[in-house]
Chain A
Amino acid sequence: MTPGGWIFLLLSWGFILGLTVFCFWKVLRKKDDDRNRG
């Protein structure tokens, strides 16, 4: 794979992984908050 290929792969994967982790972290944190509030 060329350096250009690596750049596109890493940027794309990074963006998607970042977005996925951020969204699920927010969703699951809210779930825990709700549970703690009882």
Chain B
Amino acid sequence: MRQAWGSRLGVIMAVAGSALGLGNFLRFPVQAAQNGGGAFMIPYFVSLLLLGIPLMWIEWTLGRFGGGFEHSTAPGIFHNAWNKNRFIKYFGVIGIFGPLVIFIYYTYVESWLLAYSFFALSGKYFGAGTEMAMKSFLGGFQGLEKNAYFQNIGTAYFFFLITFILNVSVIFYGIRGGIERLCKFALPMLLIFAVIILLRVISLGTPDPARPEWSIGRGFGFLWNPDFSALGSAKTWLAAAGQIFFSLSVGIGVILTYASYLKKEDDVVLSGLTAVSTNEFAEVILGGSIIIPMAYAFFGPVNIHAIAQSGAFNLSFVTMPLIFEKIPWGALFAFLWFALLFLAGVTSSVSLAQPAVAFLEDEFNLDRRRAAWIFGLAAFVLCQPAIFGLSRGVVDELDFWGGTFCLVLFGTIEAVLFAWILGMDKAWEEIHSGAELRVPAVYKFIIKYITPLFLLAILGFWLVQEGLPTLLMKNVSPANRPVVLAVRLMLLAIFAGLAWSVRMAWRRRRGAEPPEVKP
């Protein structure tokens, strides 16, 4: 029997949980601060309305459409959307490949958050009082160096095992008993943790009275004071579109799978919009109010620029622990911070695993538990290069293909397939089946023309700006090039293996169909 969600709130929580991740709390404030402050919100909301919300509706609708044919993953959904076209199912492989690739490095990063939650409570990093010492602590933990804190990668591997087993266990218990139950607990919990930290941030005021200009209020000003000159730069618009795209988890294939467990008469318009609004609440209101104002108040107006440019990992694992060391009850707030990021991570990673598990269930008739076992074993082996090749650029390479390239490409394919192949009239009818809200008619035009063009523009700009230099390994040191090349071969083998599985599944399906009786 096909799996199903237990409640409507459950599926909304699961989709919002999938979207909520490190990007909401770490990437958004940095992007906003670097691209015009308050003025960044103009391209941000334009992208939300023209790209994020339409794509969310497209994925929910395509997913529910595919579920009607007993398909929960993109190969089967695309196959039925394009009138049984022979080749389109192979484009759908991206919707299983992308999340699988993200899963194999994301789980490892997620395990660092679990580890740091424990370190916060136990005070393990509390001796590291400078940026250099905290970086050394992180490097030792990741096995990149031997130091007074860590002698090898053993601790990191232990936390990875716990995180990995937790993820596979959730998948093992299925959509209702595993994912829905987890998200109904984890999502409210992480939002409560974020609100507690937000209240603490606001109450900090001016932490050092000797430096009155180093204040939380000025930190908010650093993030929100508008610089309208940034709006004239294509970079700002691209950054806003990219933030919306990556933050909402569209273009991965996960929402397709989640929505496939809905019934034909279930609403997708309001549910999709509710998932978007939850993500935006966490990102703009909570995410925008924690890390940058805190860093400003503790490191000052000069250092904040360098901190903002230091990247998400540095902000999370170096800057934030240093700040928490300086405030009363810092261990508790540090625990809440890392625990909330861990909960955001785990609700995302289980969603990344589900397309591959659903593919095994639907196309090879495996029961859920067996599919979870097979996925667990394969993913465990595939995680190892990410763990042991961290210093050689393996995670960056996996993130490029799984977390960036596949997303934009898959999102573009979905938008074109939905509006142009399925056809806007049929698509509009599908969107409104069971809908509790009427989508404004202008979205018929937006979904057909603006969203695909927007995506093609992002794809083009991104290929020129980032894609080609990365493809040609311009930023990879000569020593790491063989490793990066090996990762690419591994990814090619995974993609080919999945494409071959699709071919086998379709052959099997054809063989199982009763022969046509000729009159």
Contact = CB atoms under 8 A, between A and B. Distances in A.
Chains A and B belong together in one complex: yes
Interface of A: 1-2, 4-9, 11-13, 15-17, 19-20, 22-24, 26-28, 30-31
Interface string B428-462: 00000000110000000000000000000000000
Given A16-B284, A16-B285, A31-B8, A9 B226 contact: no
A31 B9 contact: yes
B217 A1 contact: yes
| 4 cross-chain pairs, A with B, having the tightest CB-CB distances, nearest first | A8-B38, A1-B221, A23-B274, A5-B224
Contacts of A2: 221, 225-226
B273 A1 contact: no
Contact of B437 (A11, A13, A16, A26): A26
A9 B285 CA distance: 9
B284 A5 contact: no
A7 B38 contact: yes
Contacts of A28: 9
Majority SS at the chain A contact face = helix
Contact of B284 (A4, A12, A23, A30): A12
Contacts of A23: 270, 273-274, 277
B22 interface: no
15 contacts: A5-B225, A5-B226, A8-B37, A8-B41, A12-B41, A13-B285, A16-B280, A16-B281, A16-B285, A19-B280, A20-B281, A23-B270, A27-B9, A27-B274, A31-B8
A17 B221 contact: no
B285 A4 contact: no
A20 B280 contact: yes
B271 to A, nearest CB: 7
A11 B9 CA distance: 28
Contacts of B277: 16, 19-20, 22-24
A16 B197 CA distance: 20
B316 interface: no
Contacts of A17: 281, 285
A8 B278 contact: no
A4 B38 CA distance: 8
A24 to B, nearest CB: 6
B437 to A, nearest CB: 7
Contacts of B218: 1
B436 A26 contact: yes
Contact of B225 (A4, A22, A24): A4
Interface in B398-417: none
Contacts of A22: 277
Contact of B436 (A5, A7, A30): A30
Nearest to A20: B277
A19 B273 contact: yes
B105 interface: no
Interface in B1-50: 7-9, 12, 37-39, 41, 45
Given A13-B285, A15-B45, A20 B278 contact: yes
B220 interface: yes
A10 to B, nearest CB: 10
A33 to B, nearest CB: 11
A12 B26 CA distance: 18
Contacts of B273: 19, 23
B280 A8 contact: no
A36 to B, nearest CB: 16
Given A5-B37, A12-B41, 13 more contacts: A1-B217, A2-B225, A8-B38, A16-B281, A17-B281, A19-B273, A20-B277, A20-B280, A23-B273, A23-B277, A27-B9, A27-B270, A30-B436
A27 B225 CA distance: 35
Nearest to B41: A12
B221 A5 contact: yes
Nearest to A3: B225
A28 B271 CA distance: 11
